[in-house]
Every structure is written in structure tokens, then in C-alpha cells.
Homo-oligomer: A and B are copies of this chain.
């Protein structure tokens, strides 16, 4: 019998992308797709592959007969409900932060460590954070070839990493500053945004994002590091299987709707050249190499949004560091960074 797939969080920003991905899939191995959301959204009709489905309220019974349940919900909801889904016999593929660093939960990027899906004592598989995922296809491919030792990264993260409310906020702020020659005096962007009835205290971001960049994403952890920066470090180590990988990350929000970019400085064990790296990228089906700066060809988030692959460009051999590459990578944080990778894990489970 064809397996049953549940999507928990069907009505969210990532849930919508998940349905787009299912609609576009050529092969579709699922017998039934079950849409699940909070009680507030239950009863809503949504169309998947031409079929109208009714969203069900989250309940233990909703998982009866489900083979794989993909979760895209807040950490605390996953924490409670992924084990319930697993207890009812489903494999939970979870895109929250609740289980990623749990040693009994594999953290999977199919191109990098698909074999780990079989080692899931809790019946739960975790999907990495979107910033980590944006660069992981590239890092996995390079690590296999050259042996990764150190990673210094700075991110250019899109608003939609914060969900639909964050997308709405960026558009509202862009409206608020429109037609005003702001960005020329300290605080004038903040004033224009607040004057439009958009106090920063109501924002998902801790500062104005329109015509600005905000060097803080996630929540504050020990010693001044943010949750987002620690996720990049700890999840990269776990996915790549390099427990002592040296990582420093600075995570910065930029006024882009969707698609995270990362400036990467990566030090390897073995000698590496731009040509050798190009070969590695070109051989990876989930990577598109756009690296011809003489023709002004390099990835930018506005040209990558909505695309499945990771885009890589500006590959340079470091001038002063041995065995080191600097490059720039763009990945749609809602697709490979969230919905697509989760769905690819589900696909890997049935294949």
C-alpha cells in the first residue's frame, strides 16, 4: 500500500512552499496526503496536486495510519507532538530546533549524509536550520574532496527566515519609507517606520530592516553569541560529522524577502584550487555554479529565490591562507533551507 504522508503546519509560509513542491514533483509515491495545522486553521480547504483537502486539527488520532509526518511548527509544538506522531508509528521529519542536537536524532541533508535516516531510535529525523542548509550542499561536497577544517562565515539572511509575519513586516517597512529620502541621518529610517504606526517593539526584528542591515538573528545565548550563530556552528559539525570543526559565524539580517546568502571562508586539510572546486560543484546535481565575474555573473538572492538548487559563485583561492577558499553561496531559505530538504528526507525514507 502506498505510504501516507502528513504535513503538520500546512498553513504556514513553509507549509505553502511544501505544497508547491508536492504539486511540481514528477514522481509522487504517496497514497494519501494529510494536512494538519492548529485548531484555528482546521477545516480550511487547500489543494494539493489538484485535489481539495481539508486541514485537520492537530490531535494524536490525526497521526493514525501516517507513515511519515513532516513538521514545520514552532519548537515547543514539535517538542510535544513529534514524539506523539512517532508513538503512533509515523517517522517524524522535524524542521524545528527542538531535536537537532539530540544525539538520538539524526540531522540530515540528503546530499551529505542520507544514510543517517536509518539510525533514528526515537522515530524522529531533524531538518537543519535554514542558514546552515543554505551552504551545506556546497560544504558537504567540498569536505568529501578536500577535508574541511575551519569555517568563518557571515550571513546575509532574508526576512522570511522569520516566517510570514517577518515577510509582512519587511513589505510594510518598505512602504513606510517609500518616497522619503531617508537613510541619510542617524535614526531617520527608524522614525519613518515608527511614524507609519510600525513600532520596532512590534517587529519580529530588533531594528528597522528596510534600508538597513541587522546584525542579530534568533535569540541571545552565552557570551554574546546568537542562537542562529550557534546553530550554524553546531549543526555544521553534526551534519558533516566533524565534531571538532572550527567555526565562527556572524548572522546578519538583510532587507531581502527570501533566499539566504553566505560569505564563506573555508580552510581545508588538502590543497585546493578554484578549478578543483569548480569541478566539485559542477558534479553536484543540487548545486548551480554561477561564477563568471568577468561577465558579471555571480549569484544574488533576487535571482535565486524560488529555485531548488544552491547557487555558488565568487570562488577565490585565499591569497594569504593555505588550502583555503573564499566564496559566496545563495539558497532559497524556504525551499532547500526548509521545505525542500524536509521533503527530500521524506522521499529518501520511502525510496
Which B residues are in CB contact (< 8 Å) with A174?
A: 174, 177-178, 211
Q: Which of A37-45, A78-86, A183-191 contacts B (4 or more CB under 8 A)?
A: A183-191
* Proximity string of chain A (179-202) to chain B, C-beta cutoff 8 Å, 1 when within and 0 when not: 101111111111000000000000
Nearest CB of B to A246, in Å: 4
In the complex this chain forms, how many copies of it are found? 2
Nearest opposing residue in chain B for A220, CB measure: B293
A213 close to chain B: CB less than 8 A: yes
Nearest opposing residue in chain B for A264, CB measure: B250
Q: How far, in angstroms, from A300 to B315 measured CA to CA in the complex?
A: 28
A212 close to chain B: CB less than 8 A: yes
Contact A212 B256 (CB under 8 A): yes
Q: Which of A66-74, A109-117, A319-327, A337-345 contacts B (4 or more CB under 8 A)?
A: A319-327
**Which residue of the partner chain, among B182, B226, B246, contacts A320 with CB atoms under 8 Å?**
B246
A313 close to chain B: CB less than 8 A: yes
Q: How far, in angstroms, from A302 to B177 measured CA to CA in the complex?
A: 12
Nearest CB of B to A222, in Å: 10
A100 close to chain B: CB less than 8 A: no
Give the most central of A208, A261, A274: most B CB within 10 Å.
Answer: A261
Contact A256 B183 (CB under 8 A): yes
* Proximity string of chain A (273-302) to chain B, C-beta cutoff 8 Å, 1 when within and 0 when not: 010000000000000000101101011111
* Proximity string of chain A (212-247) to chain B, C-beta cutoff 8 Å, 1 when within and 0 when not: 111110001001111000000100000000001111
For the side of the interface on A, what is the size category? 35 or more
Q: How far, in angstroms, from A186 to B300 measured CA to CA in the complex?
A: 10
Q: Which of A24-32, A46-54, A129-137, A303-311 contacts B (4 or more CB under 8 A)?
A: A303-311
A252 close to chain B: CB less than 8 A: yes
Give the most central of A299, A304, A320: most B CB within 10 Å.
Answer: A320
Give the most central of A183, A224, A305, A316: most B CB within 10 Å.
Answer: A183
A105 close to chain B: CB less than 8 A: no
Contact B319 A248 (CB under 8 A): yes
A156 close to chain B: CB less than 8 A: yes
Contact A274 B223 (CB under 8 A): yes
Nearest opposing residue in chain B for A304, CB measure: B186
A175 close to chain B: CB less than 8 A: yes
Known A184-B257, A184-B306, A302-B183; contact A316-B189, beta-carbon cutoff 8 A:
no
Nearest CB of B to A219, in Å: 10
Q: How far, in angstroms, from A19 to B300 measured CA to CA in the complex?
A: 37
Which B residues are in CB contact (< 8 Å) with A166?
A: none
Q: How far, in angstroms, from A189 to B259 measured CA to CA in the complex?
A: 13
**Which residue of the partner chain, among B207, B208, B224, B298, contacts A215 with CB atoms under 8 Å?**
B298
Q: How far, in angstroms, from A23 to B252 measured CA to CA in the complex?
A: 36
A125 close to chain B: CB less than 8 A: no
Nearest opposing residue in chain B for A318, CB measure: B248
**Which residue of the partner chain, among B226, B250, B299, contacts A263 with CB atoms under 8 Å?**
B250
Contact A306 B186 (CB under 8 A): yes
Nearest CB of B to A256, in Å: 6
Nearest CB of B to A275, in Å: 11
Which B residues are in CB contact (< 8 Å) with A163?
A: none
Nearest opposing residue in chain B for A261, CB measure: B213
Given A215-B298, A246-B321, A248-B318, 13 more pairs with CB closer than 8 A? A152-B152, A154-B263, A156-B156, A184-B305, A184-B306, A186-B302, A190-B302, A206-B296, A207-B296, A211-B302, A215-B299, A215-B314, A216-B293
